[in-house]
Structure 1
Amino acid sequence: MEFDLKKLLRTNILNLQPYSSARDEFQGEASVFLDANENSFGSPLSSPYNRYPDPVQLVVKKRLSEIKGVPPQNIFLGNGSDEAIDILIRAFCRPGIDNILLLPPTYGMYEVSANINDVAIKTVPLTADFQLNLEGIAEAIDENTKLIFICSPNNPTGNSIFREDIETVLANFGGLVVIDEAYINYSRQKTFIQELTEYSNLVILQTLSKAWGLAGLRVGMAFASEEIIEVFNKVKPPYNINQASQELALEALQNIEQVNSWIKDTVQQREELIKILGTLPYVLKIYPSDANFILVKTTDAKAIYSFLVERGIIVRDRSRVILCEGCLRITIGTPQENKLLIETLKDFPYSTNNV
């Protein structure tokens, strides 16, 4: 099926005249700004936060361009990846008419954003080993399917999706294929960013919340063709990334060595935690992980979860999620946190009666 962005896009978005902010209309250097109705006297803070931030975050994008190897015009920055997800659904899916395809178990915000926008959801569960059901996907797609979301490494399962299967979907689907790579820094699988020039229907989501340790700033990234990025910029709020987040993100992006060190430590801690958890009698299975968390199948997830909560340790109970029955999702902590987790789990009052 041939990809045609204009046919895929909602007509009202295609014809939309976006809001033009003061900082959109003027770009360059100036000493006196009397265009945006700001408080010209300043702010109570030391930094000049009385001024509106760069609406397209060009300085941050240039630094990301150097790191990711993709031009700034192929980058969108959002208030977390959640903003990018919402914009994709709002821009391309007609409420009450179009649908998106989800592959559960997967990240929950795809479904939430679709429901908020009154967009129908089709689901094709992953296989027993958490890979794509290509036949099921092909059968589920119809003329109103606009987006397919593929999370790889997947949340909550932790595994990477087979690359060749993703390429099969990209090559045969006429809508947008959105690959959510929030955990790609921990993965042995390389990013799909290098494939942007090969697939015009490819959108890649990444974030500064995970490996970069900036969850509190809410800075997400989308990489796509310049044509698709223009749609993002057309629909987004005028100043969606605040000045403080831009400044702090730029500062963090100068410290790749520190981040790479944390990634190495996290992967090492992940493997050690997997080895020790595997010795516990109530742990039935630990699924392979390319992320900074592991999915652990137990004899009684709810009881173990409650036991940990009572001792001030919070993990995620995923036992009600399809294909994750009896499972806990455990984020990889510091060595001290992981040690405390193990020591506490060893005190869990397990007996064969728990089975």
Structure 2
Amino acid sequence: MSFNLNALLRDNIKKLVPYSSARDEFKGEASVWLDANENAFGSPLSHDYNRYPDPLQHQLKHKLASIKGVPAENMFLGNGSDEAIDILYRAFCTPQVDNVILVPPTYGMYEVSANINDVAVKKVNLTANYQLDLDGIAEAIDPFTKLIFICSPNNPTGNSIHAQDIETILVNFPGIVVLDEAYINYSKHKSFTKALAEFPNLVILQTLSKAWGLAALRLGLAFASTEIIEVFNKIKPPYNINQATQDLVLEALDGVDIINEWIKATVAEREVLVAELAMLEQVEHITPSDANFVLVKLANPKGLYDYLAGQGVVVRDRSKVTLCEGCLRITVGTKTENKHLIKSIKTFYSNL
């Protein structure tokens, strides 16, 4: 199907004249800044934060481009991936008219953002082995379906979605396909970023909150065509990424080697954790994971969750989530943390 971005955009977004900030209107160097009503005396910190930050984060994007292999002009930076998700709804979905397709079990913020924006949600559950139900998705699509959200590796299941199934939807759906790759660093599968030129309706979400260890800084990434990125920049607040975050992320991006070592260590610990859990007779199933967590189906999940919490070990109870009945989601910790976890689980079951 042919893709027509202009036909998907809400009319008010087509007509929108974005706010023009002082830093948009003047680009360059100056010695006296008297255009943005800032405090000329500085700030009460060791570093001066009295000046507004670069609204389009040029320096940060170019550094990320060299790491991600995606041109800076194909990149949007948001206050976490959640900002990008919200902008997608505001750009393409008319409230009480349009709808989106979600494929549970999946990341809960897609539905929360839909509800905030008063956009209808159609749910097409994943199959029993947590893959896309292509026939079900095809049946759910109607002329008002604007977005399809796919998380791969998926949260909370941890498995990767078959690449050929994602491509099938990209080729056949005339709307926007949002592929959330928050956990791609831990996967043996390649990112879809190399396919951006091939699929103009593809938006890829990534984050620095997971493998990069920068969750507190709240920096999410969206990769898409330059036309879609222009839409993002048109809608976003003028200074959505603060200067402190930009400075700290720029510094962190020098640590690629350390991050790669942490990824290797996490994957290795994931396999050890899976092996230890598999030896417990109370564990019924462990979903193969390409993420930094595992979804485990086991006996008495609520009781185990409560016991672990009482021991100061916090995991995620997913036992009431569609297709995750009886499951806990366990993040891969350090070697010491994982040993403590396994010991606590064994103690709980031995006392039943």
Q: TM-score, normalised by structure 1?
A: 0.98
Aligned position for 2:269: 269
Q: Establish whether residue 163 from structure 1 lines up as the match of residue 163 from structure 2.
A: yes
**C-alpha displacement of 1:46:** 1.5
CA distances 1:123-164 after superposition (whole Å, capped 9, x unpaired): 100000000000000000000000000000000000000000
Query: What secondary structure is seen at the aligned counterpart in 1 of 2:281?
Result: coil
Aligned position for 1:23: 23
**C-alpha displacement of 1:279:** 1.0
Aligned position for 1:99: 99
Give the AA of the match of 1:116: I
Aligned position for 1:124: 124
1:310-325 pair list within 5 angstroms: 310-325=310-325
Query: What secondary structure is seen at the aligned counterpart in 2 of 1:178?
Result: strand
1:1-355 pair list within 5 angstroms: 1-350=1-350
Superposition CA RMSD, Å: 0.8
Inter-partner Cα distance in structure 2 for 1:118 and 1:68: 34
Q: Is the 8 A contact 1:60 1:246 kept in 2?
A: yes
Inter-partner Cα distance in structure 1 for 2:30 and 2:172: 50
Query: What secondary structure is seen at the aligned counterpart in 2 of 1:229?
Result: helix
**C-alpha displacement of 1:349:** 3.4
CA distances 1:22-79 after superposition (whole Å, capped 9, x unpaired): 1011111111110111100000111120111110000000001111111111000000
Q: Is the 8 A contact 1:282 1:350 kept in 2?
A: no
Q: TM-score, normalised by structure 2?
A: 0.99
Query: What secondary structure is seen at the aligned counterpart in 2 of 1:204?
Result: strand
Inter-partner Cα distance in structure 2 for 1:45 and 1:56: 24
Q: Is the 8 A contact 1:200 1:225 kept in 2?
A: yes
CA distances 1:196-238 after superposition (whole Å, capped 9, x unpaired): 0000000000000000000000000000000000000000011
**C-alpha displacement of 1:350:** 4.9
Query: What secondary structure is seen at the aligned counterpart in 2 of 1:188?
Result: coil
Inter-partner Cα distance in structure 1 for 2:30 and 2:248: 24
Give the AA of the match of 2:290: D
Give the AA of the match of 1:124: V
Query: What secondary structure is seen at the aligned counterpart in 2 of 1:322?
Result: coil
Give the AA of the match of 2:349: P
**C-alpha displacement of 1:282:** 1.2
Aligned length: 352
Inter-partner Cα distance in structure 1 for 2:31 and 2:191: 42
Off by >3 Å, runs of 4+ in structure 1: none
Inter-partner Cα distance in structure 2 for 1:169 and 1:175: 10
Give the AA of the match of 1:170: L
Query: What secondary structure is seen at the aligned counterpart in 2 of 1:255?
Result: helix
Inter-partner Cα distance in structure 1 for 2:128 and 2:264: 29
Give the AA of the match of 1:227: E
Query: What secondary structure is seen at the aligned counterpart in 2 of 1:348?
Result: helix
Structure 1: gaps spanning 5 or more residues: none
**C-alpha displacement of 1:8:** 0.2
**C-alpha displacement of 1:305:** 0.3
Give the AA of the match of 2:172: N
Inter-partner Cα distance in structure 2 for 1:286 and 1:349: 17
Inter-partner Cα distance in structure 2 for 1:175 and 1:31: 47
Inter-partner Cα distance in structure 2 for 1:3 and 1:321: 34
